[in-house]
Amino acid sequence: MKIINFGSLNIDNVYNVREFVRPGQTIHARDYHVAAGGKGLNQSIAAARAGAQVLHAGMIGSGGTFLTDILQEAGVDTSQVRTLDAPSGHTVIEVNAEGQNRIIVYGGTNQMLTDTYIDTVLAQGMPGDVTLLQNETNLIATIITKSHEKGMLVAFNPSPMPEDLTAVPLDLVDYFIVNELEAAQLVGMQPDAPYETILDRLAVEYPHATVIMTLGHNGVLYSQKETRLSHPIFKVTAVDTTAAGDTFCGYFLAAVCRNTSVETALREASAASAITVSRPSAAPSIPLYAEVQQFLMDSHCS
């Protein structure tokens, strides 16, 4: 069982600031660096470091070669990544003194997938494999439909949220991996609605799907038919939250591929996410599986 991730590949331009810039304001950055990013890249690295077999599908352009190098170093298969004569996807990220972030994404080559390319990639998959998607590439509806027709499981992390949800065949999604805001948007509810109420509505609208809802400081909720589970966060000092959700996603799906229990999957993914937020940057902050196991041992002993 492997993961085929049709995922974004971004060049992250990261600016550390004391406070987020306000409209009309000009501020000095305290630090600046360039890093590998994109929700897709982060999730592939997380899943691979958690031990999953991961095939990454996507496009890079000018200046993007180092992105595939980093994926390969993490153990990700990049044989289907294509290079185009166009600007690579990239981001502008503000990270404030509290470790919170604000992100602007430019799609670039991430928005240049084609139907032919999708067919070529999916030919590498088997029924029961997982197709992982975010919403930073194009042709999301096509990938979901073709993956479902092939008998693959579809895991969708709808970030950023699609502007037109009716254009995406959400009824074919097997795993929704969402934060509380995205979960509320999926069912047209206010973001301050009770979490359990949002889960109830999701269960009605997508009865066959599994929902994993991350809640920041409030941990994570899991819903699959009649089963409801939760896991609290592991308390750490936050340095940079940029890749926290992506780490959780990759680690959780890696556990799914190992056919481990849901409880173990939530625990390992929560621990991996906690380690990630305690470190600066995105992809470089994602822990190895051995680090997560040591963290869990130390947490159990403390």
Enumerate the active-site residues. 246
5 has which bridge partners? 56, 132
∠ CA 281-286-287, nearest 5°, is 135
Token pair, residue 68, equals: 């595939």
Is the Cβ–Cβ distance between 212 and 252 less than 8 Å?
A: yes
